[in-house]
Amino acid sequence: MSLPPVLYHYFSHPLPYTQTWNLQERIHQLQLLLRRTSEHPDVLLLLQHRPTYTSGRRQTEPDIHDERIRLQNLGADFVPATRGGQLTYHGPGQIVGYPLIDLSRYTPVMGARDYVCRIQKILQSHLKDAHGIAHAPSEHTGVFLDSTTKIASIGVQVRHRLTSHGFAINITREPLPWFDKIVACGLDDVNAGSIESQLQRAVSVGDEIPGLVRQFGDAFERDMAKMDLEKAGEIGEAILNLEKEAEEIGSWPREPKENK
């Protein structure tokens, strides 16, 4: 039996992190409910976040309290996340992908390691095919331009064979000053890079979406279909509500505040 297409949506405004996580959780719960009759959709959310630092699920508040205060004073939000990994940054100029797919649809069931490897391949192939940018081999998860420059991160969660969280790839230079304020992903000697800084020319975030969608379909051997929000039931309604909320919030700090 052929697998149904993955439904994707790209948000037009940077999203607050917590509300986006709530959307992922709502989709996850609907997938669990509808899986009993095999009517659950597989979904790929593509978006930018408002400036936000997130910690990993193994980092506790006592461990990160002082760091949280410092980073919030820069003008960013700070949210403890349920993904794997350590401290990182999300913000405008960076595409975040949240695949919410059922790994048990595959035969044999796709394992978490295979899933992460496919996500990594998507990012590597997009850089090469769209921009001629070759990745550098690394022992660490994510995509590196060289041994000290990281352009993309991966942090996933798998529950009941349903995925959440996902990947982030830096497109413009805008995220880089925010990354400079932290040791991202626990890698002391690694700095953030971006497509724009690598090519030394302006790059549009929106122009990257078709290529990433195509690479996702190839990697997971699935057709990709743009979600019709008016026909997507409760999921479509939740996405429309979040789109409206993000538009109403408006502008965001373009660079970190300098603490005196």
Enzyme catalytic residues: 185
The span from the CA of 17 to the CA of 98, in Å, is 12
Q: DSSP assignment, residue 174?
A: T
Q: DSSP assignment, residue 5?
A: P
Cα dihedral 194, 199, 205, 211, rounded to 10, equals -100
Residue 224 CB partners (closer than 8 Å, separation 6+)? 5, 6, 8, 44, 213, 214, 216, 217
How far CA 108 is from CA of 104, 111, 228, in Å, comes to: 8, 9, 30
Q: Say which residue the tokens 């798998």 belong to.
A: 158
